[in-house]
Structure 1
Amino acid sequence: MQKPITDKTRCRRCGDCCRKGGPALHTADLPLIQDGTIALTDIVTLRPGEWVYDQPKQAVAPLSEEMLKIKGRDGTWTCMYFSPEGNTCGMYSTRPIECEVLFCEDIEPLKAMYEKDRLKRADLMPEGHPLLALMAEHDEKCAPHAMEILAKAARDGDHQAGEDLKEMVVFDQEIRRLVPEKTGMSVDMNDFFFGRPLRILLAGMNIKTYEAGGTLRFGFNG
């Protein structure tokens, strides 16, 4: 285990920030992706309209723009490069810029750069890549904000909204099934290409999706 740092003017490497979520990625982090330090399979895309934890504001709010973020581990947002057992970071010497800037005793430097120069999926893919058009179609048909509106209406008993929501979730599922099948790429790439599955976003609204009678159904809780 690392010896804790007692100097209160710099990071004590306590791991609290890492447990609250991995960093968003900025243009300064592009070399880490290009040299393979950060693999695309380790990145999740958070899309406009998703509710996410804003570290500087310390509040949950909907995103206005796309964000690329290091995935979590063990079903949580704890950064996948963080080892809770040893309280260590697996890439500390080459950590992303947000990790370098963030200091829990003074978050002003992070606030100053938090929403600036964020990387987007298109920044990491060759111009004209065939998946770009498919990603754009998916963003249009499976927009988180539109999903939320349909989900709330379906919860209130709107049958057509429920059918439209079902069509949206099925499209999302099929995209995630077909792309790895047709391209041979790892299914772990889906989180980068298409963001979090709609099933996960709906679960955050206490809406369960399940198969019954050969069709997709929803369970509304709370």
Structure 2
Amino acid sequence: MQIQNTNAPRCRRCGQCCRKGGPALHVQDLPLLQDGSIPLADVVTLRAGEWVYDQPAQQVMPLSSEMLKIKGRDGTWTCLYLSPESNTCAIYATRPAECEALFCEDVAPLRAMYEEERLTRADLLPEGHPLLELMAEHDRRCDPRRMEELAKAAREGDGQAGEELKEMVVYDIEMRRLVPQKSGMSAELNDFFFGRPLHVLLGGMSVKVYHSGDTVRFNFQA
């Protein structure tokens, strides 16, 4: 008779992993999105070039390719589906694949699947979707890597870089205002279609964005 090792490490369901960020979504999770278990309004697109927290590496790194992720709550990366008071998950029975693989005392299973078969926006939108062209244009004009280059140059006093950065941020703001207005879609879907707003990404670089009439101004904080 095999004796079970009751001292083997096991998940204590303390919620710490969930507080460090919700899961990225993979091909295995496609049915959860298709049947509405995970609404698109609860998903944020992280685009190539954005700096994000890498769970297996446990450090902030730039993304090499697009990633879909469960949104955070209350202005943090704490997973939207975690109840902070009770450390319970609202979708535990149908949780995404990364959640099943993640165990803080042994991240090997998560590391093995982390960059494999990640879902992208294109996987969820049919060919010919009316927003595909707008998304591509937004990606071209609001590239996070270019944004970072411009912000660094503007911080050093490059006025032309500052003006280009303003144009980029204003375009991002207007896209997020006009698309819901003209299409009738919920503004909560902006984070899925267009990723995180540029003012949020700039905030991670200690650049505060203020609206000023039809434009914006920046405060480059120390």
TM interval, short-chain normalised: over 0.9
Deviation at 1:151, TM superposition (A): 0.3
Counterpart for residue 83 of structure 2 = 83
CA separation in 1, counterparts of 2:213 and 2:44? 32
Counterpart for residue 38 of structure 2 = 38
* 8 Å CA contact 2:27, 2:117 repeated in 1: yes
1:175-214 → structure 2 map (5 Å cutoff) = 175-212=175-212
Counterpart for residue 3 of structure 2 = none
1:146-185 → structure 2 map (5 Å cutoff) = 146-185=146-185
- TM-score normalised by length of structure 2: 0.95
Q: Report the residue type matching 1:123 in the other structure.
A: D
CA separation in 1, counterparts of 2:214 and 2:193? 28
CA separation in 2, counterparts of 1:216 and 1:90? 39
1:163-220 residue CA offsets vs partner (Å, 9 max, x unmatched): 0000000110010001100111110000000000000000111101112365311111
1:14-70 residue CA offsets vs partner (Å, 9 max, x unmatched): 111000000000000000001100000000000000000000000100000000000
CA separation in 2, counterparts of 1:48 and 1:122? 14
2:179 aligned counterpart, secondary structure? helix
Counterpart for residue 55 of structure 2 = 55
CA separation in 1, counterparts of 2:171 and 2:7? 52
Counterpart for residue 68 of structure 1 = 68
Deviation at 1:12, TM superposition (A): 1.7
Counterpart for residue 122 of structure 2 = 122
Question: Which of structure 1's runs of 4+ aligned residues deviate more than 4 A?
Answer: none
Deviation at 1:7, TM superposition (A): 5.7
* 8 Å CA contact 2:170, 2:215 repeated in 1: no
Give the superposed CA RMSD: 1.1
CA separation in 2, counterparts of 1:8 and 1:44? 36
CA separation in 2, counterparts of 1:144 and 1:104? 30
1:18-29 → structure 2 map (5 Å cutoff) = 18-29=18-29
Runs (5+) with no aligned partner, structure 2: 1-5
* 8 Å CA contact 2:45, 2:191 repeated in 1: yes
CA separation in 2, counterparts of 1:136 and 1:23? 25
1:116-163 residue CA offsets vs partner (Å, 9 max, x unmatched): 000000100111101001000000000000000000000000000000
Q: Report the residue type matching 1:209 in the other structure.
A: V
Q: Report the residue type matching 2:24 in the other structure.
A: A
CA separation in 1, counterparts of 2:19 and 2:210? 30
Counterpart for residue 112 of structure 2 = 112
Runs (5+) with no aligned partner, structure 1: 1-5
2:37 aligned counterpart, secondary structure? coil
2:75 aligned counterpart, secondary structure? coil
CA separation in 1, counterparts of 2:215 and 2:124? 36
Per the alignment, do residues 217 and 103 of structure 1 end up closer, same or farther by CA in structure 2, a change over 3 Å counting?
same
- TM-score normalised by length of structure 1: 0.95
